[in-house]
Amino acid sequence: MIWNLGSINADNFYFVSHLPGAGETIAALEFRQGLGGKGANMSVAAARAGTRVMHIGALGADGGWALERLLEYGVETAHITLMEGVTGHANIAIDAEGENNIVLFPGTNHQITEEMIGAALSEASSGDWLLMQNETNGQVLAAQTAKTLGLRLAYAAAPFRADAVKAIISQIDLLVLNEVEAAQLRAATGRELRQLPVDDIVVTLGAGGCEWVSNKTHQIKTYSAYKVDPVDTTGAGDTFTGYLVAGLDRGMTMPQAIDLALRAGALMVTRHGTADVIPDLKEIRDHRF
């Protein structure tokens, strides 16, 4: 089972002819709203991959719809607290090539209490996964608690903050980074990924696939992406990570879980949207790449 301490956001999508530069105002061609946040995306991806996932998070009183949406997608929500405050949200501009930029307001994602984390993880079992990203508070406590309880820790270092990764790095079993975050981590630590105290590091490379750095076997392997025509890359990394951890939770080997995650990520970039359009296992199996 996966316990995911993660953000839940309202995603506001603005489809634009080009991404606005500094000082520029442009009119969007189309607007859509959906469920997002790296945490929610990963929970939905893991649930779609067929594993049990309990989301640990917080919503404002305006966020009841998000709770219902997560339930509908198969995510367990007993440890999502409705509280005073504004639900996190992201304003996402997407250009004609599918490139994006994002402004994020964390809202209640930063109001998670020690009690909420403790209550959730007290129900976890040794061997479960704790999954985290960097869009909530509470990661240090959650990592410590997870390790005390014998959970495995997966961490997607996004959005990247050197101090956030450094604070928990010795507790991480699986670290997932994109290319930019990997470069930031190398710069922040002054070390190569193969020198870090993390057993498994997976670097996603967009259309280039991904790289697996195994610090147990001292091997680095690269995997090609599945070929697709991309329309929107938003949420590809989250879908990849949710599927990767779900695959491992279901007993797959790392290469098997990576292959599943590459398929899920490739299918995801052929769609507009985030959590609402993450493919399920059947869609991935039925798709001819």
Interface residues with ligand ATP (CB under 6 A)? 178, 204-207, 209-210, 225-226, 228, 230, 233-238, 240, 262, 265-266, 269
Positions of E strands within 84-151: 88-94, 100-105, 129-132
Task: Kindly tell me which of 172 and 268 has the beta carbon lying closer to ligand ATP.
Answer: 268
Please give the single-letter amino acid code of residue 222. Answer: T
Is-contact 108 85, C-beta < 8 A?
Answer: yes
Q: How far is the CB of 109 from ligand ATP (least distance, A)?
A: 17
Burial class (CB in 10 A: 0-12, 13-18, 19+), 119: middle
Shortest Cβ 102–ligand ATP spacing (Å): 9
Q: To the nearest whole angstrom, how small is the minimum distance from the Cβ of residue 268 to ligand ATP?
A: 7
Amino acid symbol at 106: P
Q: How far is the CB of 201 from ligand ATP (least distance, A)?
A: 13
- Work out how close the CB of 204 gets to ligand ATP at its nearest, in angstroms, rounded to a whole number: 3
Q: Which is nearer to ligand ATP, 147 or 287 (CB)?
A: 287
Q: Angle CA(285)–CA(287)–CA(289) in degrees, nearest 5?
A: 115
Residue nearest to ligand ATP (CB): 237
**Angstrom distance (rounded) from CA 287 to CA 260:** 12
Q: The tokens of 91 are what?
A: 């304003």
Nearest to ligand ATP of 111, 274 (CB atom): 274
Cβ proximity of 271 and 229 under 8 Å:
no
Q: Which is nearer to ligand ATP, 124 or 243 (CB)?
A: 243
> Closer to ligand ATP at the Cβ: 77 or 178?
178
